[in-house]
């Protein structure tokens, strides 16, 4: 059964088959059984299937075609709105408009998202995470009408796979896993960890196509540049303030 | 197979049985197959089994007994240290010392954590998340010797269950799931959503034992108070600055 987890790949192309509403409901029920902070269930999931709304969401995800093509788009949100409203109706003084509460609910939103993804894969569906969610959170808030204390954290597109892509490579386990305490990396360790990736034909071609000298430069200059990261950091911090999580 | 996800419960008491190192390795391999931002694998997992180190971690988790009792403690960290070192060795200018990069790696750490939890449950193990990780991140950094650009996000204790507890309750699905766009809650909707929980014998006793008038007050006055949330918000923001994620 662990094999299904080992078979994971990101699926970006879907057949036209709709997801049965009973199946979707079952997957969402399973998702809500996942661990969450203090059983407050302080997160929310917006299920978008409407074509017009998907079209409105699309620019926030830089028009990646999955948003419009997938039968279902799920936006997982940090959400202390419902819980705060409940407290206010019960003579209780809520204090969740702060960064620690944001972290707790953002973590819970991601735990739910990954639970959904695994359940969906077990059911034969394919998923894709969209990291653009924290880049353009404000645009998503506007389309999905998210109130104060609700912030989108990640988006998943889901549908039946039209193509099962090859699995992507992974670094050796010791790149990610440390035993007992953190073992920082020597220059030689870095060389060893990345050597298989860097010498592969696939990545050599990728570097060449991008007109760069090293694979790392493709990341720093094109995919995840300092300038963009800093721009989107300011933008997301502004959203956290506006939505009330940095009081 | 989805049944296993539906059977989830937090397990806080473990038998003395150790986790076979091959099994642990398989679970970690599966974990590293999970989705991650740009396949940078920018997160890390610290596997702690040493009794002395578990004792040192314990106060950071407010001496919850799982830390010392569980055979394995896993600390999942946001980590741009390795990736940044790689960039620096490859004539590339890394720009990951900012909040957006922190969000990306924190999300990836949680996706990995939940993948591990589900794989572990499939293998018959029991897990418990410790939300105390973001409260006392600095103390954990000190024990686990985490360098700059590494911040602990969550901790999981894992072992063979000594007791399988009852499942905890969940709110009705419509509390968490919104269709198409967010449907904000009227006072009546809040009453409906919480009525089953609030009228249950279990929670009525819980409120009474805590000498409170409403269940919400147990959360706001005792479990997750405004004062504590604000204190730990400042503390965690200080850690993010010190570890280099708010440059």
Looking at the complex, does the CB of residue A53 fall below 8 Å from at least one CB of chain B?
A: yes
Phi-psi region of B62 (alpha: psi -120 to 50; beta: other; left: phi over 0): left
User: Which secondary-structure segment (H or E) carries B63?
Assistant: none
* CA A3 from centre of chain: 22
Please indicate if any CB of chain B lies within 8 Å of the CB of A22: no
pLDDT value for A4: 84
Three-class secondary structure assignment of A12-26: CCECCCCCCHHHHHH
List all residues 6 or more positions away from B81 whose beta carbon is below 8 Å from its beta carbon: A184, A185, B44, B147, B148, B149, B150
For residue B110, is pLDDT > 90?
A: yes
Q: Is A236 in the B-facing interface, judged by CB distances under 8 Å?
A: yes
Residue from the list B122, B143, B176 with its beta carbon closest to the beta carbon of A2: B122
Q: Name the average pLDDT for chain A.
A: 97
From chain A, the residues in CB contact with B145 under 8 A are 181-182, 184
In A120-176, DSSP assigns E strands to 126-130, 150-159
Cα A86 from Cα A42, distance rounded (Å): 11
Instruction: Quote the CA–CA distance of B157 and B75 in Å, as a whole number.
Output: 9
B-chain residues within 8 Å CB-CB of A112?
Answer: 176
* Most B CBs within 10 Å, among A114, A186, A199, to test the B interface: A114
pLDDT digits 0-9 by tens, A31-86: 999 999 999 999 999 999 999 999 999 999 999 999 999 999 999 999 999 999 99
Q: Is B1 exposed, middle or buried (0-12, 13-18, 19+ CB in 10 A)?
A: exposed
Distance between CA atoms of residues A77 and A112, nearest Å: 10
Report percent pLDDT > 90 for chain A. Answer: 96
Q: pTM (2 decimals)?
A: 0.98
Domain residue limits, chain A: 2-166
Q: Which of B49, B92, B153, B218 to mutate to test the interface with A (most CBs of A within 10 A)?
A: B92
Least confident of A161-165, B135-139, B151-155: A161-165
Residue A1 has pLDDT above 70, yes or no: no
CA distance A176 to A172: 8
Any A CB within 8 A of B55 CB: no
The closest alpha carbon to B75, from B144, B7, B169, B166, belongs to: B144
Number of cross-chain residue pairs from A and B with Cβ atoms under 8 Å apart: 354
CB A79 within 8 A of CB A42: yes
Angstrom distance (rounded) from CA A215 to CA A45? 36
Chain B residue numbers touching A154 (CB-CB < 8 A): 107
B33 in reach of chain A (CB within 8 A): yes
| Domain B2-166 annotated CATH 1.20.1740.10 | no
Tokens 């570097």 sit on residue: A207
CA distance A129 to A241: 25
Predicted confidence (pLDDT) per residue in B163-201, tens digit: 999 999 999 999 999 999 999 999 999 999 999 999 999
């Amino acid at each position: 059964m662990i094999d299904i987890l080992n078979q994971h790949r990101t699926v970006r192309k879907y057949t036209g088959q709709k997801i049965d509403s009973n199946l979707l409901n079952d997957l969402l029920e399973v998702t809500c059984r996942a661990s969450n902070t203090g059983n407050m269930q302080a997160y929310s999931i917006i299920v978008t299937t409407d074509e017009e709304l998907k079209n409105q969401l699309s620019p926030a995800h830089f028009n990646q075609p999955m948003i419009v093509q997938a039968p279902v788009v799920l936006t997982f949100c940090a959400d202390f709105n419902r819980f705060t409203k409940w407290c206010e109706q019960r003579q209780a003084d809520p204090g969740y408009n702060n960064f620690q509460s944001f972290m707790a609910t953002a973590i819970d939103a991601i735990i739910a998202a990954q639970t959904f993804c695994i359940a969906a894969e077990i059911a034969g569906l394919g998923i894709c995470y969209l990291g653009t969610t924290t880049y353009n959170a404000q645009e998503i808030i506007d389309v999905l009408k998210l109130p104060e204390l609700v912030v989108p954290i990640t988006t998943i597109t889901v549908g039946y796979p039209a193509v099962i892509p090859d699995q992507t490579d992974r670094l050796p386990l010791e790149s990610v896993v440390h035993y007992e305490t953190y073992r920082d990396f020597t220059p030689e360790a870095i060389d060893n960890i990345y050597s298989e990736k860097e010498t592969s034909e696939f990545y050599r071609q990728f570097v060449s196509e991008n007109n760069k000298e090293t694979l790392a430069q493709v990341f720093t200059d094109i995919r995840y540049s300092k300038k963009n990261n800093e721009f989107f950091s300011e933008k997301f911090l502004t959203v956290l303030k506006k939505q009330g999580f940095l009081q």
